[in-house]
Structure 1
């Protein structure tokens, strides 16, 4: 079973939080704040935070900007993962991904099933990698952000997590670009 190896040092990662919403402002962005609070409590660094509207091109452009920024290791977005016409976050993420982490959405659905039952099928949480940066899209509710962070990301973004984690393979994400 998974565990934290207390004999290892914690390695903080730099995380950008993106809220996708046509209506939210910083002062009422509860989901984004959940992520900011939790990543800080875990010992990670808030690299950036932004709120942008549900526009596919704008979301993808912001993701690409953070992927290109050497001060950002991980991007977590919240909002726009549902089924309505304005929900385009997943498509924007996939426009940017070099590799999708298919199991992230599967595990998120499994975690959600424990909390909200079959309503979990309406979520399209997703994860991927681009330019050596991890990208995750969570639903826009504070509860979904808590579940995504507490049950998945807090563990996978902790270098001490065993048997494996995302942080330990970060140096190898772009090994295909190195000369042989």
Structure 2
């Protein structure tokens, strides 16, 4: 679809942090984190930080607070821990910090996911918003979900959203 009501007038390089929330992944097995980084760098955006944190609410919050203090960063993209299993705490940790939410991100992500995986999309708690003038996206950990969110939602809008935060 990709029709923009007001096209961006300039392309900017967005400085990003990619954080995988997992109790089991490491940099070699973090396929979703690798996909996010590759898709960003293919559009000349910069990866300023990359890390894997345990699916523990305090660890996730500390990571967000630390990253938000970095003046170079514009966007934090988390993946993993967005389901409803007892260990899935990413949504809860992130949503408790957000100062503004972008409900349309989660709504559109679930709509697009529904087209791929059917009614199982209801279990996704993908979300986005703003914390301390940083744009935060929280995606499921599945590689297919990450590809979908990056190609259909994040990459088409990342520059525009960052420009909005800076204006």
Q: Does 1:66 align with 2:67?
A: yes
Q: Which runs of 5+ in 2 are unaligned?
A: none
Q: Supply the RMSD in Å over aligned alpha carbons.
A: 1.5
Partner of 2:36: 35
Partner of 1:55: 56
C-alpha distance in structure 2 between counterparts of 1:109 and 1:85, whole Å: 21
The answer on whether the counterparts of 2:74 and 2:162 sit within 8 Å (CA) in structure 1 is: no
Q: Which runs of 5+ in 1 are unaligned?
A: 159-164, 173-180
C-alpha distance in structure 2 between counterparts of 1:61 and 1:96, whole Å: 11
Q: Does 1:169 align with 2:154?
A: no
Partner of 2:100: 99
C-alpha distance in structure 1 between counterparts of 2:163 and 2:114, whole Å: 29
TM-score by length of 2: 0.94
C-alpha distance in structure 1 between counterparts of 2:48 and 2:117, whole Å: 31
Question: Hey, which bits of structure 1, 4+ residues long, moved more than 6 A?
Answer: none
Partner of 1:136: 137
C-alpha distance in structure 2 between counterparts of 1:26 and 1:73, whole Å: 23
Partner of 1:177: none
The answer on whether the counterparts of 2:76 and 2:136 sit within 8 Å (CA) in structure 1 is: yes
Number of aligned positions between the proteins: 165
Once the two structures are TM-superposed, the CA of residue 5 in structure 1 deviates from its matched residue by 4.9
C-alpha distance in structure 2 between counterparts of 1:132 and 1:37, whole Å: 24
Partner of 2:13: 12
TM-score by length of 1: 0.87
> Which structure has the larger Rg over C-alpha atoms?
1
Matches within 5 A, 1:103-142: 103-142=104-143
Q: Which SS does the other structure have where 1:81 is aligned?
A: coil
Q: Which SS does the other structure have where 1:166 is aligned?
A: helix
Once the two structures are TM-superposed, the CA of residue 10 in structure 1 deviates from its matched residue by 1.4
Q: Which SS does the other structure have where 1:34 is aligned?
A: helix
C-alpha distance in structure 2 between counterparts of 1:60 and 1:111, whole Å: 28
